[in-house]
């Protein structure tokens, strides 16, 4: 989270999705006793969704109520060529069926030793050195696509096997492969027509070994309002559960000593940062610049337009994968999972807030989305404790300024952010790291999209 956003596969062991149970995709967590949000959190979520919540409504529920009203942008135009068949509730059962069908299939892979030239070290300048090599494992894999013909009724799941370059070995199919992103690589059926990719299966490095895992990568054919809303609702429900658990545990704020973390930390900022963590800053900037040039839009307007599309892409992935969303997404710095923590930051938050009961194991903690949401809210509180009391009070009264501060801390760290503010006052954004400036730009653009 702090030091880069490029996503790589993570060595997390997959678990059976239990696709035979139609309620399996309604589970929010994979782990034993935390397999649901908990009765209290589920009750709170259901109560907040009522038009008249009743007299037991808590004062701190107001922000949750606002979040439960999805922003307008997710109901924008569907990108699917098969919208008539994909933009309906049955799509989730169909994705479940694809996952279940893939469980009993093998894509196939092999690992071979590969000779790699080592970078020379030491020695005198100009001295010829004998090349040094080492053998490293090299993965060669196939990808098994679970697809469906949207014109068939009832729908059936078919399998299409492609190699790592995207070349199909299944007769009658032509496949288009997108940018390599591990299990997030986009695959589309070019021919025959009317086919949608529901899920894929391929090998990944798993705890020093290799195993085949299942995932539903992004594609335009799944980018529909109903799947986006499923993703949005999933994120909000996890954040509400996280806040409720922190409240039940009575976790006190380090920034506001007379308050609880659950009562003062902004869930809407956590929601937005969770989304922009999975939006590539360079693609965002490049597409916005291209749009501004083509349309004569101003920088802010172009970034808002592009951000709306990219936010919908992130929500589509969450809506299609829910509890499996981004479990294999790890940056070069080791930032992992839906909320993109690095291990050292996660451990620091866990130690500073022992009463919160964050999971001890980092990867389990990131794979548990409620746990990740709790860690995010706690990190906000910790980051706010770095600034002085007057500035904290100012931030509480100015939500956008609060969001920019927390976004800067989330990406670049609180010490750098506070130093920039102390030295440059209102111009502080121009004096944080370039990567952090782009991160703040993403946050501002997404905030503008939410406000439309």
Residue 180: other Cβ atoms inside 10 A = 11
Task: Give CA–CA dist 300/303, Å, rounded.
Answer: 5
Q: What percent of the chain lies above the pLDDT cut of 70?
A: 85
Same domain, yes or no: 207 and 303: no
Indicate the pLDDT class of residue 273, thresholds 50, 70 and 90: very high
Q: What angle do CA 336, 338, 343 make, to 5 degrees?
A: 30
- pLDDT tops 80 at residue 370: yes
Q: Pick from 369, 326, 97, 104: which is nearest to 215 by CA?
A: 326
What digits encode the pLDDT tens for the residues 207-240?
778 999 999 999 999 999 999 999 999 999 999 9
Q: How far is Cα of residue 442 from the mean position of the Cα atoms in its chain? A: 15
Residues 409, 267 share a domain: yes
Residue 180 vs residues 163, 166, 203, 216, 293: alpha-carbon distances, Å: 13, 10, 14, 14, 28
- Number of folded domains in the chain? 2
Write down which residue in 193, 221, 249 finishes a domain: 221
Q: In this structure, is residue 4 part of a structural domain?
A: no
Does any domain span residue 9?
A: no
Phi, psi of 86 (to 5 degrees): -95, -35
Torsion region of 176: left, alpha or beta (phi above 0 gives left; psi -120 to 50 gives alpha): beta
What token pair was written down for 258? Answer: 């007379």
Same domain, 385 and 338: yes
Asked whether the beta carbons of 205 and 226 are under 8 A apart, the reply is no
Residue 181 in any domain: the answer is: yes
Reported as half-sphere exposure (CB side, CA atoms, 13 A), residue 204 has a value of 23
10 domain-assigned: no
Residue 241 shares a structural domain with residue 369: yes
Share of the chain above pLDDT 90, in %: 70
> Do residues 325 and 397 both lie within one domain?
yes
pLDDT at 127: 67
Mean pLDDT of 33-51: 42
Q: Is residue 336 domain-shared with residue 276, that is, in the same domain?
A: yes
Asked whether the beta carbons of 450 and 236 are under 8 A apart, the reply is: no
98 and 112 share a domain? Answer: yes
**If you average pLDDT over every residue of the chain, what do you get?**
85
| pLDDT, tens only, 75-90 | 999 998 888 888 888 9
Q: What is the pLDDT of residue 60?
A: 56
Q: Lowest mean pLDDT: which of 130-139, 190-199, 262-271, 302-311?
A: 130-139
Task: Single out the residue in 221, 237, 259 at which a domain terminates.
Answer: 221
Both 136 and 271 in a single domain? no
Confidence of residue 440 (pLDDT cuts 50, 70, 90): very high
First-to-last alpha carbon distance for the chain, in angstroms, is 28
Reported confidence tier of residue 114, pLDDT bands at 50, 70, 90: confident
Domain boundary among 196, 221, 246: 221
- Would you say residue 407 has pLDDT above 70? yes
Average pLDDT over residues 289-299: 94
Beta bridge partners of 205: 210
According to the 3-state scheme, what is the secondary structure of the chain? CCCCCCCECCCCCCCCCCCCCCCHHHCCCCCHHHCCCCHHHHHHHHHHHCCCCCCCCCHHHHHHHHHCCCCHHHHCCCCCCCHHHHCCCHHHHHHHHHHHHHHCCCCCEEEEEEEEECCCCCCCCCCCCCCCEEEEEEEEEEEEEEEEECCCCCCCEEEEEEECCCCECCCCCEEEECCCECECCCEEEEECCCEEEEEEEEEEEECCEEEEEEECCCCHHHCCHHHHHHHHHHHHHHHHHHHHHHHHHCCECCCCCCCEHHHHCCHHHHHHHHHHCCCCHHHHHHHHHHHHHHHCCCHHHHHHHHHHHHHHHHHHHHHHHHHHCCCCCECCCCCECCCCECHHHHHHHHHHCHHHCCCCCHHHHHHCHHHHHHHHHHHHHHHHCCCCHHHHHHHHHCHHHHHHHHHHHHHHCHHHHHHHHHHHHHHHHHHCCHHHHHHHHHHHHHHHHHHC
- Residue 13 in domain: no
pTM, entire model: 0.85
Same domain, 183 and 232: no
Same structural domain, 274 and 352? yes
Q: Which range marks the domain in which residue 158 is found?
A: 83-120+132-221
**What does the alpha-carbon distance between residue 282 and residue 280 come to, in Å, rounded to a whole number?**
6
* Residue 17 placed within a domain: no
Mean pLDDT over residues 29-33, rounded?
Answer: 33
Residue 322 lies in a domain: yes
Our measurement of the distance from residue 232's CA atom to the centroid of its chain's CA atoms, rounded to an integer in Å, reads 11
**Interval 248-265 mean pLDDT:** 94
Residues 184 and 256 placed together within one structural domain of the fold? no
CB contact at 8 A, 346 and 365: yes
Among all chains, which residue has been given the structure tokens 């199919």? 173
Are both 337 and 309 inside the same structural domain? yes
Cross-strand pairs, 203: 212
- The yes-or-no verdict on residue 365 having pLDDT over 60 is yes
| Mean pLDDT across 260-272 | 94
Q: Region 276-303: what's the mean pLDDT?
A: 95
**Angle, alpha carbons 137-138-142 (nearest 5°):** 135
pLDDT at 311 over 60: yes
Gyration radius of the chain's alpha carbons: 23
Does the residue 167 lie in any domain? Answer: yes
């Amino acid at each position: 989270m702090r030091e880069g956003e490029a996503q790589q596969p993570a060595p997390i062991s997959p678990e059976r999705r239990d696709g035979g149970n139609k309620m399996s995709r309604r589970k929010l967590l994979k782990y034993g006793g935390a397999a649901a949000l908990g009765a209290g959190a589920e009750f709170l979520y259901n109560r907040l969704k009522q038009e008249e919540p009743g007299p037991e409504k808590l004062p701190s529920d107001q922000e949750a109520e606002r979040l439960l009203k999805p922003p307008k942008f997710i109901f924008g135009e569907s990108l699917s060529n098969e919208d008539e068949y994909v933009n309906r509730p049955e799509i989730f059962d169909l994705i479940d069926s694809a996952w279940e069908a893939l469980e009993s299939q093998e894509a196939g892979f092999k690992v071979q030793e590969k000779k790699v030239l080592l970078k020379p070290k030491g020695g005198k300048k100009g001295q010829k050195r004998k090349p040094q090599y080492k053998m490293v494992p090299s993965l060669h894999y196939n990808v098994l696509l679970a697809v469906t013909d949207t014109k068939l009724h009832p729908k059936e799941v078919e399998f299409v096997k492609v190699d790592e370059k995207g070349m199909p070995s299944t007769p009658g199919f032509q496949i288009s492969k997108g940018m390599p992103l591990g299990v997030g690589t986009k695959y589309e059926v070019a021919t025959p027509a009317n086919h949608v990719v529901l899920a894929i299966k391929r090998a990944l490095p798993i705890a020093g070994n290799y195993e085949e895992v299942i995932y539903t990568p992004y594609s335009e054919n799944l980018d529909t309002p109903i799947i986006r809303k499923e993703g949005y609702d999933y994120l909000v429900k996890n954040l509400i559960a996280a806040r409720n658990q922190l409240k039940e545990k009575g976790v006190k704020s380090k920034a506001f000593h007379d308050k609880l973390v659950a009562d003062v930390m902004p869930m809407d900022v956590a929601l937005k940062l969770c989304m922009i963590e999975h939006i590539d800053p360079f693609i965002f900037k490049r597409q916005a610049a291209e749009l501004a040039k083509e349309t004569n839009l101003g920088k802010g307007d172009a970034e808002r337009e592009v951000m709306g599309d990219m936010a919908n892409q992130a929500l589509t992935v969450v809506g299609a994968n829910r509890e499996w969303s981004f479990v294999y997404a790890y940056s070069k710095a080791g930032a992992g999972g839906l909320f993109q923590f690095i291990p050292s930051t996660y451990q620091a938050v866990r130690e500073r807030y022992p009463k919160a009961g964050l999971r001890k194991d980092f990867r389990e903690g990131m794979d548990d989305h409620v746990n990740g949401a709790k860690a995010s809210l706690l990190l906000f509180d910790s980051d706010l404790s770095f600034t002085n009391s007057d500035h904290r009070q100012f931030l509480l009264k100015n939500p956008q300024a609060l969001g920019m501060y927390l976004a800067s801390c989330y990406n670049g760290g609180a010490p750098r952010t506070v130093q920039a503010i102390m030295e440059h006052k209102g111009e502080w954004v121009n004096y944080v790291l370039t990567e952090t400036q782009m991160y703040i730009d993403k946050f501002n653009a997404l905030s503008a999209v939410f406000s439309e």
